[in-house]
Amino acid sequence: MHLTSRRSGLPGSNHLASTALATALILTFPVSAMAQTLEAPPQGAEAGAGPDNPTSVGTGAADHGEIFVTARRRTETVQDVPIAISVVGGEHIDATGSFNVGRLQQLTPTLQYYSTNPRNTAVNIRGIGVPFGLTNDGIEQGVGIYVDDVYFARVASATFDFLDVERIEVLRGPQGTLYGKNTTAGAINIATRQPTFDFEGRAEVSVGNLDFRQAKAAVSGPLSETVAARLALSSTSRRGTLWNTTSGRWINAQDNLGLRAQLLWQPSASLSITLAGDYSQQDPECCGTVYVRTGRTQRALNRQYEALAAAQGYAPPSTDAFDRLTDLDASLNAGNKVGGASLKAVWDTGIGTLTSVSAWRFWDWKPENDRDFTGLGITTLSQNPSQQDQYTQELRLSGGEGALGYTLGAFFFQQSVDTQGSQQQGPAASAWLINPSNPLSADPSVLDGLTATNTIGLDNTSAALYGQVNWQPLAGLTLRPGVRLNYDSKDGDYASVVTNGEGQRVTYQSTDPRIVAQRAVLAPQAFSVDYEDWNFSYDLTASYEVSDEVLVYATYAHTFKSGGVNLNGVPSDADGRPILEAATVAPETVNHYEIGMKARFWDRRATLNLAAFRTDIANYQALVTNGSLGVLRGYLANAGQVRTQGLEADLSIRPSLRFNAYANAAWTDATYRTFTDAPCPPELSGGASPQAGQEPDQPGTPGGISPVNCDISGARLPGVSKLALAYGAEGNVPVTLLGQEGAVYLGIDGSYRSRFSSNPTPSAYTWVEGYALTNLRLGFRGEAGFEIFGWVRNLFDTRYFEQLQVPGGNTGLIVGTPGDPRTYGLTLKHVF
């Protein structure tokens, strides 16, 4: 079966041509207005982004003045930062419907986001960050998510709506000598709008098809001469995009609520203290998949999907994934709550600016899934409720004048995670999971009611000292050496108790054939694991101002990603004892090289930023099966070496206040350099293990011989497109509407991603074909702050998959999550 990502009847070349034509129409739309006003945008340094001063995606260029960022923990313009950084303004986030990190990847080509549910979410930059396909609480993220300087340890926060955001900075490459938590792939730095001493507010309401409803509001103003407050809220709901024929309901809906309150105290010009609190919740019926295809594995034919389904008279509701039909029979839920409080103090001490950020955060996760991905009662219950508490404290001192400046910091992080999981098998499990040659497969009672109850705990402590110096030995030349000393400690516990339908404990000591069959499906295990380590890392950036408008830079960084512990279970020996050497994962060692250029030309009407990079990772943390341990169970371990390298370009042009356009591109070559004991793809899995002198059979040979593990050295990393693009334009003409001066505008935003692997080991069955998405908006923006616009997202109703999955068992079943269909709606907005 061919997996197409294009609308039926619309070939890919015609689709891209249609996108190009639509873009061309936008580009020609405001020509007359451009001819009238080709003056350069004002170059004052006071103006920032806002409703009358939109920013370009990527470069952050604006119509008025400079856009300031805090990527290096100090306020400076985007073009002065010797870091590859993409900046997206809050107004563009609102206009394009990019209300969470998943949507943000359509604007920033170097960002990859994949999610089967909030807990099983991966946010990567340049192809690296977290292992693809397996969530493990004991492993660190490689991409840090920060909101107003507060580190968010749980990537589940990436699924929530952005709330009252001023701008988002996506930093590419290691950031450990400037940020609290060490991040080897990059950081997403989210800055919200702050309390003001002038009264202001904003309100926005959107409605659309699929019962889409979204409301946002914020108000800010003084409470006294020294105290100001800001309150913001957001609510989003939308009907699901998949129809569940079993429950008779739409699933994979959106149901988000967010609140944020901030209180600012400025007793003097040198001191400001901000107390902030936020709370967000989701409660959708989520997250389901649809049948996509099957592929031959090396299991016996009577143990592959078609035969197993036929034996129970089962067929999926549709074999066309884009009918968007599923028949999942287990309960689905993605209840998700996050929140916390922070206290930030900024004090100008005279010798430098001292910043203190104290924060507490929580995460409460209440999921329910259908782990067999079918309408059969194979796995009738699967849930892993989890609760997290997180405490962070960061201190930074930044100062220096003239040729010498510095940033010194200390960071402390403490996290506790408690998880209570359970999985239960149903009446269809015996016939599906036990070999048909075993008479027990015909007895539903063997596996019906078999239950594993898991208890998982983690205590995670991290502390660091870091710093960076800015030294200008010559005019225009700046050297920025940085260092980091890091300590990590992780203590974990894992216990899985298995009981059968009769209430008996399933143990390794029993030789009862029924217990043996049950143990092959759900195995008991218990262990404790401790990890402790120190790491030292460093980097050096050299930048040179070729002219007032051109900056070139080069960076080398030697850094690490902290080691961790396996908390999803580890392999066991023949007697059922956990193999504790597999319970810990060593740190990754990272060597990163980058050169770049930032330039403005055409009297600052155009901005072009370029970067070339290479990152080499040793002891890469990945999902493995290690034959040397005599087991085939998957777990996280150090896989070998990985390399990611590429080229990136961000271009924006703003010839007048009547027109702007941007184009961002990323070519990324991310591959395993050495990975000799990887899990095999489904087409090479499920067969007998080779005996001495035997060679594995060809892929997809039913009843064949499968390798114990596979050497995928040289293969591409999962989830990474070699080519990713983001592009757009907006033109406007002045008009008077309902007595209000303003402008009518037409805007387009598009993105393209080439094909990528959707399995940790590349498989012929799980390549997601490349796709292009186009969004359009038409509206009126008034000078008095009123705005109304209509929007269409996925204009061409492109058929594409966000992700494909290989369910366990090597049956050959492939399921997937279709991307959103065409959506459209209307937004009313007022800023005052």
DSSP symbols for 548-567? TTEEEEEEEEEEEE--EE--
Give the amino acid at 664. Answer: N
Is the C-alpha dihedral spanning 170, 176, 179, 182 positive or negative? positive
State phi, psi for 113 to the nearest 5 degrees. Answer: -135, 125
Q: Which residues contact 439 (CB under 8 A, 6 or more apart)?
A: none
Tokens linked to 33: 């207005």
Give the amino acid at 203. Answer: A
Q: Is residue 330 part of a domain?
A: yes
CA separation, residue 42 to residues 63, 546, 603, 675 (Å): 7, 22, 10, 54
CA separation, residue 82 to residues 137, 263, 538, 666, 668 (Å): 33, 33, 16, 18, 20
CB 728 within 8 A of CB 747: yes
Q: Which residues contact 11 (CB under 8 A, 6 or more apart)?
A: none
Q: Is residue 391 part of a domain?
A: yes
> How far is 611 from 593, CA to CA, in rounded Å?
11
Tens digit of pLDDT for each residue in 125-145?
999 988 776 567 888 888 889
Tens digit of pLDDT for each residue in 137-193?
888 888 889 999 999 987 777 778 888 999 899 999 998 888 888 889 999 999 999
Tens digit of pLDDT for each residue in 660-680?
999 999 999 999 999 998 889
> How far is 301 from 294, CA to CA, in rounded Å?
13
Q: What's the mean pLDDT in 202-218?
A: 97
Q: Identify the pLDDT of residue 176.
A: 85
Tokens linked to 809: 């068992």
Q: Identify the pLDDT of residue 100.
A: 76
Q: Which H, E and C letters describe 198-262, residue by residue?
A: CCEEEEEEEEECCCEEEEEEEEEEECCCCEEEEEEEEEEEECCCEEECCCCEEECCEEEEEEEEE
Q: Is residue 615 part of a domain?
A: yes
Q: Identify the pLDDT of residue 326.
A: 98
Question: Is pLDDT at 524 greater than 50 in this prediction?
Answer: yes
Cα 623-634-173 angle, rounded to 5 deg: 10
> How far is 660 from 550, CA to CA, in rounded Å?
21
Tokens linked to 749: 């935003």
List the single range of 583-587, 628-632, 717-721 with lowest mean pLDDT: 628-632
Q: What's the mean pLDDT in 547-564?
A: 95
> How far is 132 from 113, CA to CA, in rounded Å?
10
CATH number at residue 567: 2.40.170.20
Q: Residue 98 — pLDDT band, cuts 50, 70, 90?
A: confident
Split into its structural domains, the chain has a count of: 1
> For residue 169, which of 650, 646, 829 has the smallest C-alpha distance?
650
- Burial string for 105-140 (b: 16+ CB within 10 Å, else e) reads bbbbbbbbbbbbbbbbbbbbbbbbbbbbbbbbbbbb
Domain around 197:
12-831
DSSP symbols for 314-376? ---S-S-GGG-EE---S--EEEEEEEEEEEEEEEE-SSSEEEEEEEEEEEEEEEE--TT-SSS
> How far is 539 from 479, CA to CA, in rounded Å?
11
DSSP symbols for 802-825? EEEE--TTS--EEEEEEPP--EEE
Q: Give 678's DSSP letter.
A: B
Mean pLDDT across the chain: 88
> How far is 494 from 474, CA to CA, in rounded Å?
57
> How far is 552 from 573, CA to CA, in rounded Å?
55
Q: Is the pTM of this model over 0.85?
A: yes
Tokens linked to 555: 């960076």
Tens digit of pLDDT for each residue in 719-771?
999 999 999 999 999 999 888 899 999 999 999 999 999 998 999 999 999 99
More confident residue, 271 or 572: 271
Tens digit of pLDDT for each residue in 317-336?
999 999 999 999 999 999 99
β 121-125/111-115 pair status: antiparallel
Q: Is residue 3 part of a domain?
A: no
Q: Identify the pLDDT of residue 117.
A: 78
Question: Is pLDDT at 269 greater than 60 in this prediction?
Answer: yes
Cα 435-437-441 angle, rounded to 5 deg: 55
Q: Is residue 821 part of a domain?
A: yes
Q: Which residues contact 645 (CB under 8 A, 6 or more apart)?
A: 613, 614, 615, 668, 669, 670
β 325-326/242-244 pair status: parallel
Tokens linked to 169: 């900075």
Is the C-alpha dihedral spanning 365, 183, 70, 606 positive or negative? negative
CB 89 within 8 A of CB 167: yes
Per 3-state DSSP, the chain is made up of helix, strand and coil in percentages (nearest 5) of: 10, 50, 40
Question: Is pLDDT at 15 greater than 60 in this prediction?
Answer: no
How many angstroms separate the first and last alpha carbons of the chain? Answer: 55
Q: Residue 6 — pLDDT band, cuts 50, 70, 90?
A: very low
Q: Residue 39 — pLDDT band, cuts 50, 70, 90?
A: very low
CB 121 within 8 A of CB 143: no
Q: Residue 64 — pLDDT band, cuts 50, 70, 90?
A: low
Tokens linked to 810: 């090597």
């010498």: which residue's tokens? 404
Other beta carbons within 10 angstroms of residue 439's beta carbon come to 10
Other beta carbons within 10 angstroms of residue 654's beta carbon come to 24
CB 344 within 8 A of CB 387: no
Give the amino acid at 106. Answer: Q
Q: Is residue 5 part of a domain?
A: no
> For residue 61, which of 603, 650, 652 has the smallest C-alpha distance?
652
Q: Is residue 7 part of a domain?
A: no
β 200-208/212-222 pair status: antiparallel
Task: Tell me the percentage of the chain whose pLDDT exceeds 90.
Answer: 72
Q: Is residue 1 part of a domain?
A: no
Name the range with the highest mean pLDDT among 133-142, 467-476, 632-641: 467-476
> How far is 345 from 348, CA to CA, in rounded Å?
10
Classify residue 581 by burial, with Cβ atoms within 10 Å: 0-12, 13-18, 19+.
exposed
> How far is 85 from 463, CA to CA, in rounded Å?
26
